[in-house]
């Protein structure tokens, strides 16, 4: 099997890479270990509406959000409403349908996709990567050769680690547990963030509506700051919170999602001869709130375009592919550094700290603050 580009992972970053690479007339293959692209779900899908439209998503994949509240451990609330804002600031992405939508677009552009196919290891020649060993339950083990390999395998960083660009596992990461549940909410365009050690030690909990009496109720905890299991706190949020329990107590879970999100900042080196690492595989998400979809799409599109140009110019060297690294560093490196510093401080807040911060925010014009945070997207 010979391709111009082999992409490991059919998530947001891998499919975005496949779309722009194929559009630029190079033949590429995406290998995805799961039987169904987009499933199991391991994202909550919170994002920014306009940015998702600009990144090519269809409105039908986005549930609009126009109101937000932060809850202190004792139940103090600071909130902001943007009922008149059209289009809305925020949205909850339908992760599974979005991945399927991206996969269809990649296929339309000419990409090949192999679900149920696991990438195992790089194939080397003269110390350089020239392809990937793959395995599927239907066709066994095979070798796929390519001019460029793109690692978009998510937080496992499979090929990136085997090529020595990431040493060992991520040391600092968010671990999340989430129910998608039947739950009639009073406002289906409103999100809640719940703070405090009782509900999410070294992290936060959330309620993200997805419409039609469905919502995602989740807890994310930062390792190594806390070793607690986020699953244990889901029940506490649903049944013992002074505010959100009012409507969550009768929630009926229909799906359970979990996953990890690297949040120690992006890897400094993401390209080698014939190789690019992108998305969570390269730690390219905002460490503060664990927002990674936008960056996986943005840098996936960039990786596909640069890889295709490299092939057309017959130059797949590290020097040529460095354009990718220069681009993402220019756009987010400083923001992510600041975000990481803020995240490290917030992860160590006590319940008393959160009470003080929420009362401080109440004294400010919180709506103006949210508008400001919207402008500082890299750090929020
Ligand atoms: C609990 C949780 C909640 C989150 N909530 C949000 C949120 O609200 N908003 C937001 O913007 N971000 C959120 N994120 C982060 C976001 O989900 C990620 O940043 C995003 O999914 C990264 O996309 P990716 O394509 O790089 O990786 P992934 O989406 O992880 O895709 C990687 C793909 O590679 C496949 N793969 C892995 N290993 C192999 C292999 N050996 N062979 C073949 N295929 C392989 C995987 O099956 C997967 O399909 C959340 C993350 C978690 C864990």
Q: Taking residues 132-159, report their average pLDDT.
A: 97
Nearest atom in ligand 1 to the alpha carbon of residue 16 is 25
60: CATH: 3.30.9.10
Q: How far is the CA of 27 from the centre of ligand 1 (A)?
A: 24
Q: How many CA atoms lie within 13 A of 111 on its CB side?
A: 31
Nearest atom in ligand 1 to the alpha carbon of residue 258 is 1
Are residue 335 and residue 356 in the same domain, yes or no?
no
pTM greater than 0.85: yes
Pocket test residue of 296, 297, 301, 378 for ligand 1, highest count of atoms within 8 A of CB: 296
For residue 48, being part of any structural domain is answered with: no
For residue 49, being part of any structural domain is answered with: no
Task: Give the pLDDT confidence score for residue 380 in this predicted structure.
Answer: 44
Examine residue 224 and say whether the peptide bond preceding it is cis (omega within 30 degrees of 0): yes
Are residue 37 and residue 139 in the same domain, yes or no?
yes
Task: Give the pLDDT confidence score for residue 379 in this predicted structure.
Answer: 46
Are residue 241 and residue 278 in the same domain, yes or no?
no
Our answer on whether the CB atom of 12 is closer than 6 Å to any ligand 1 atom is yes
Are residue 338 and residue 189 in the same domain, yes or no?
no
Q: How far is the CA of 154 from the centre of ligand 1 (A)?
A: 5
The residue whose CA has the least distance to atom 3 of ligand 1 is 43
For residue 240, being part of any structural domain is answered with: yes
Give the C-alpha separation, 94 to 82, whole Å.
22
Task: Give the pLDDT confidence score for residue 99 in this predicted structure.
Answer: 98
Q: Taking residues 11-33, report their average pLDDT.
A: 98
pLDDT greater than 50 at residue 189: yes
Q: Which residue range is the domain that position 38 belongs to?
A: 2-42+95-170+265-343
For residue 13, being part of any structural domain is answered with: yes
Looking at the structure of the chain, the number of domains it has is 2
The residue whose CA has the least distance to atom 35 of ligand 1 is 9
For residue 239, being part of any structural domain is answered with: yes
Identify any residues that bridge with 63 across adjacent strands, giving them in sequence order.
92
Q: How far is the CA of 12 from the centre of ligand 1 (A)?
A: 7
Q: Taking residues 312-334, report their average pLDDT.
A: 97
303: CATH: 3.50.50.60
Our answer on whether the CB atom of 57 is closer than 6 Å to any ligand 1 atom is no
Nearest to 147 by CA among 49, 23, 6: 6
List, as one string, the DSSP characters of 330-355: IIIIHHHHHHHHHHHHHTT--HHHHH
Are residue 240 and residue 217 in the same domain, yes or no?
yes
């Amino acid at each position: 099997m010979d391709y111009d580009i082999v992409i490991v992972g059919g998530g947001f970053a891998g499919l975005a890479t496949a779309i722009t690479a194929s559009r630029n007339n190079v033949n590429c293959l995406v290998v995805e270990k799961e039987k169904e692209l987009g499933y199991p779900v391991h994202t909550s899908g919170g994002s920014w509406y306009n940015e998702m439209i600009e990144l090519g998503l269809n409105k039908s994949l986005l549930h609009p959000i126009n109101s937000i509240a932060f809850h202190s451990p004792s139940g103090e609330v600071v909130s902001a409403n943007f009922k008149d804002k059209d289009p809305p600031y925020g949205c909850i992405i339908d992760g599974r349908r979005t991945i399927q939508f991206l996969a269809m677009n990649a296929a339309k552009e000419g990409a090949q996709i192999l679900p149920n196919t696991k990438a195992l290891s790089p194939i080397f020649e003269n110390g350089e990567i020239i392809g990937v060993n793959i395995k599927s339950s239907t066709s066994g083990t095979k070798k796929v050769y390519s001019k460029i390999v793109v690692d978009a395998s998510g937080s496992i960083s499979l090929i990136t680690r085997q090529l020595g660009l990431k040493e060992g596992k991520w040391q600092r990461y968010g671990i999340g547990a989430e129910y998608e549940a039947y739950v009639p909410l009073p406002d289906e365009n409103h999100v809640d963030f719940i703070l405090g050690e009782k509900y999410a030690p070294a992290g936060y909990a959330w309620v993200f509506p997805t419409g039609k009496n469905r919502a995602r109720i989740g807890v994310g905890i930062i390792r190594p700051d806390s070793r607690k299991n986020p699953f244990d706190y889901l029940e506490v949020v649903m049944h013992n919170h002074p505010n959100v329990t009012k409507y969550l107590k009768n929630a009926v879970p229909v799906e359970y999602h979990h996953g990890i999100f690297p949040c120690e900042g992006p890897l400094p080196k993401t390209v080698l001869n014939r190789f690019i690492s992108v998305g969570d595989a390269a730690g390219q998400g905002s460490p503060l709130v664990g927002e990674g979809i936008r960056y996986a799409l943005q840098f996936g599109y960039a990786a596909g375009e640069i890889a295709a140009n490299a092939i057309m110019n017959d130059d797949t060297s590290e020097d040529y592919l460095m354009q990718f690294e220069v681009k993402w560093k220019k756009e987010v490196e400083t923001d992510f550094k600041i975000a990481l510093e803020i995240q490290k401080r917030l992860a160590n807040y006590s319940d008393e700290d959160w009470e003080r911060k929420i009362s401080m925010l109440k004294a400010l014009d919180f709506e103006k603050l949210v508008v400001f945070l919207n402008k500082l997207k890299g750090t929020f």
